[in-house]
Structure 1
Amino acid sequence: MQKTENNSSLVWFRNDLRTIDNIVLSEATKSKKRVVGLYCFDPKYFKDNKYGFKTTEKFRAKFLLETIIDLKVQLKKLNIDLLVYQSAPEDTISEIVSTYNVSDIYLQNDWTKDEMASETTVQSLIPDVKFHKYYNQLLYHPDNINFEINNLPQVFTVFRKKLEKYVGIREEAINEILPLSNRIENNTKIPTLQDLGFDDFETHPNSAFPFKGGESEALIRLEDYFFNTKRLGFYKKARNGLVGLDYSSKFSPWLANGSISARTIYWQVKKFEKEHVKNQSTYWLIFELIWRDYFKYVSLKHGSQIFKLEGILKKEYNWSTNKNLIEKWINGETQSDFVNANMIELKETGWMSNRGRQNVASYFAKELKLDWRIGAAYFESLLLDYDVHSNFGNWMYVAGVGNDPRDRKFNVNLQAERYDANGNFRRLWLQASLF
């Protein structure tokens, strides 16, 4: 690989795998230097965690590969090459810095422990390189909120009311298209699913999320859900559904790896309201984006406390680690057919509805009294839309060690009667003989 003479800016992509409204990329394209992109398939994310689950299972691995394939195509339109390695950033970036004479690294500001550890190690290896970090995954930018993060409200409703009427949403970031001369010789290859340790597979025919990864697919979904079918106008009524493609927006997997930004969705909602209708449903989709922000701010405030058994409330319960009960929950063999159907859907597809997640998590923590971190780790492994902040925020919430002031417990039988009254969802995932 030929060394570059002029200084370069390196865009280190992590969970911001898009070109539209990506402030990291936008700032790098304004740097007046050669811009090179980098993504590392870090092997540690494809190994077993301490609970025995693969940190990233096949569903999210395939979705991620599709995302990186698309990111490379979209970056090429800006005349930026994406270097892809199947190695840890700390084992890779020093050589790239040397090869491309990198003076500046642009990256998303991530604050959870694994990302910070990797970043700290990289910085220690290249002390002369300047790092530019940007908040790139929030709807409300931390510089715009009207309170100190240390004073984050303990209850979501207070957080929402402090922001939604008083704090504006920033406009989307714009990239500069770089000259053709920005391109480099790029011999790196995107790994295959087999390279990551998985056999290829077909999406389950009953999956409620049969979509592919990548920014292009996210934008197609947005256009379809908002402007072609206008399902957005009915979102609030349908959002507790369990079967089908359109009971919810299904944006979460793309949001989780940053294929689309919360701001892009927000401004498209505003466009829909202007062109079609403004109602409770359009508000409710933004409401859900604010919930997503809330859990990110919870982790910003509390750091690694979100991963601890006592949670942010530091409350002690008698948690169990009974392997038999855990396996029954995972395999859909509990005493609740509603929990079972949801768990089988997750195991077969990597997807579960929001309603399902609340119920199976509550059942795990409050009925079976199992260590909630094990449930969170299983979700991390399987879910297409795993997001560290939302996952641990929600699990703490239902386990009674997070942001729920009422410490409620879901009655899974009543929930099944209410949200699956005709049994269609349970029939879809359980043997018909059960009914």
Structure 2
Amino acid sequence: MKNHILFVSTLCSKRVFEYIRRNSTDKSGQAIQKFHQLLVNGLAEQKNNVIETSTSIPVTPKINSKKIFRFKAEKINNIHFKYIPIINLPIIKNLNILIYSFIKVLSWNLFNGKKNNFLICDVLALSNCIGAFCASKIRGLKIIGIVTDMPGLGVSSFTFLESLKSRIIHYYLLNFDGYILITAQTNKIINPKNRPSIVIEGFVDKTMETHENTLENKEDERILLYSGGVFERYGIKNLMKGFMLLKDTSIRLHIYGSGAMAKEMPKYMELDSRIKYMGVVPVHILVERQVKATLLINPRPTVEEFTKYSFPSKNMEYMVSGTPVVTTLLPGMPKEYLPYVYLFKDESIEGIYEVLLKLLNIPKIELHSFGIRAKIFVLENKNHLIQGERISEFIKNIK
């Protein structure tokens, strides 16, 4: 019997997302698109799964001047992408998505019958998820929430609307039939009723098996690379200051991403010409540059509360590149990863400097071999097909 899965989120096809990205002032959002795409691809590869999306495209009046968005349905690799028409005006957009999502779930369920229908919802896609959630309760559908972050623990300024959104999410979070989680710690907060849950950390793309990482193809300069949110709270300032203590003129620090500290980058580049802020680039270009780098760095401080509830997708993306990773000892990172990453045990400026200095003095072949072992580990244990199979079995067993 077929398992019909409706995936409720902001996931777009590559074509649609590139269109939105080109016409938006904010170029971020690629990480969550990649996460959801790998999840859906993994599910679609499993026998008897029929995947359809109910997509609220990631646009807002603040970053997109266009007022009406309509995209035709698409079928790509056994995934049916269906998009909610958007009226891109404050409040109206959210009501538009909520009502459409509610009707969409009701009609989808009526069309497919009552058996073996599952909703998987990104709980942070608030309007889309609330509409789907309400419809699921009316129809008695099983609804599973994907929790990639804890609302209220992010890095953006916490406005009244964001506070209200966080309260709403916390309220309905407690009433899903199951949860797909990034860290085990999250379960203690959002699942007091002890509903079924599965911890996946994330996904790596199995096609990276064919993407070679060789010493011969490395950049001539030794590049230390960071990609992700450019926020002081993510450890960027300490990383740059630690790097600046290194005397080696042949090394470079390349920073990719967007965030509040982006406007401060010119100051640091002027203080140290070895630091380069590269902005936001398409995912495929970023992957190529990660493969050619010497070290990939995640300096996220472990004292921050939000690190308990997030396993940065960048760590897995880093590891599958085959380039060695140095990271802080994040509370949400399981022990099975520890043999495959280098650690900043001291997260101070001096601590970061000392670890980087030590790693840069390791012979190239040894450093490269360490990175390749990490790549093999995540490909063998965390690729999107294996994770897709785990999630498929999980949702089928939800009563």
TM-score category of the 2 structures, normalised to the smaller one: 0.3 to 0.5
TM norm structure 1: 0.31
The structure carrying a bigger strand percent of its residues is 2
